[in-house]
Amino acid sequence: MTFDAIGIAGSALTVHRKWLDAISDNIANVNTATATSGAAFQERYLVAQAATGTGGVFVAGTSLGSAAGRLAYDPTNPLADGDGMIRLPDIDLSQQMSNLIMAQRGYEANAAVVDRAKTTYEAALQIGRG
């Protein structure tokens, strides 16, 4: 009970780190081309869920975006079909950048909560010693 703030904020740090990882994968693969006969890179989303009883949150799983992607004309690409078409992921880079900022700020906010709770607990221990 004494360290609930650190535990709850720590669980949120883990979720935000995993969210940052998913966003990084999405951004890194925004231009990953595949043949039109295959599936496009699928955008990854995290499914976060509240932890019952203990407080905090956890990653309950992931969901994937569309495998259909979008077709693009690039006849110089070695993966292009007879019509010069390739399949690209249907990832909105501006949305990913917005998500990146939100995840980063959420991570920073929870790190600050952990730091402040630690300082508060240390001060309480010093009062108990004095």
The pTM of this model reads: 0.86
pLDDT at 59 over 90: yes
Question: 15 falls in which pLDDT band (50, 70, 90)?
Answer: very high
The residue to which tokens 């989303």 are assigned:
45
pLDDT at 60: 96
pLDDT at 108 over 60: yes
Cβ-proximal residues to 13 (8 Å cutoff; 6+ apart), any chain:
107, 110, 111, 114
Give the residue-averaged pLDDT of 97-113.
96
Give the residue-averaged pLDDT of 58-82.
96
Rounded Cα gap, residues 70 and 74, in angstroms: 12
pLDDT at 2: 52
**91 against 6, higher pLDDT:** 91
